[in-house]
Amino acid sequence: MAHKLCLHYGPYVGTIEGEAFHDFPSPGALAGKEVEAHLRGLGFGYRAKYIADTARIVTTDRPTGWLDRLRNPDCPSMCANDDTGEDTTAKKEADPPTYRAAHEALLELSGVGPKVADCVCLMGLGWSEAIPVDTHVWQIAQRDYNFGKGGKTKTFSKAMYDAVGDHFRKIWGPQAGWAQSVLFTANLKSFAEQAATATGKVKTTVVKIETQESITTTVSRGKKRKASTVDVRAEITSGVVNAVSLKTECQLENKAVELEDKPGLLRRSKRVKTSK
């Protein structure tokens, strides 16, 4: 959809290898009366009305540079190019923007709820403490970060939304938004499956594990404990070690004893040395 917006409404940038590239359109380019119907024809569905209405509000109902004034002044990438056309004197005299003020201002736009407002704050306005919260993030907070102290609240209200964000901000501070994005991505089933089956060559390596195991066998009516050295041949794919065989050889009463164990022995090891 973003590509379609650029292609049909964004200014032309250039052509590379026969493909034309367009910049992202300005609110004014999306404020025309015919925009909603055209976007519906392009497959935007219910979003068409929200986009057209929001572009009209920003263009006609807000002062020039209103959206740009919501940017985080402490984020250099957001303020590197000041082309808002505003009176710089007026900007200096105005109250400095805050994340909370930017969030609440965005909620006034058509079709913009708390999550969308935080997505814009985080990815478009430079507010790194903004945390887009949905049911998945809520579940992560409850499951992994002791949010709610084991309560079984089923209603996800605006107050709950703010509480989840504040909970993560206390943990991660001013970069909480980006920390949350990593958690959100890692929690996606499709991402987990992709990481587990990532393409690439499967390489085999020998992992030598030195451990102290209790090996018990009957020798002259007694039991003895011996140190063992374990040689493991494993397949390593995308950083995941899968033991395919595990054989332990030790010398006990001058006799070679070969033991077959399970890969679970790996978890009991104390030190791991990798032979390259």
Query: Could you tell me which of 244, 247, 250 has the C-alpha nearest to residue 214?
Result: 250
Q: Catalytic one among 4, 91, 115, 226?
A: 115
Label the pairing between strands 271-275 and 12-16: unpaired
Three-state SS at 275: strand
Using an 8 Å Cβ cutoff, are 234 and 207 in contact? yes
- CA 141 from chain centre, in angstroms, equals 14
CA 54 to chain centre: 27
Question: What is the rounded end-to-end Cα distance, in angstroms, of the chain?
Answer: 47
Residue 115 annotated as catalytic: yes
Hey, what long-range contacts does 255-259 have (CB within 8 A, 24 or more apart)?
257/215, 257/217, 259/215
Q: How far is the C-alpha of 200 from the C-alpha of 220, rounded, in Å?
A: 52
Residues with catalytic roles: 115
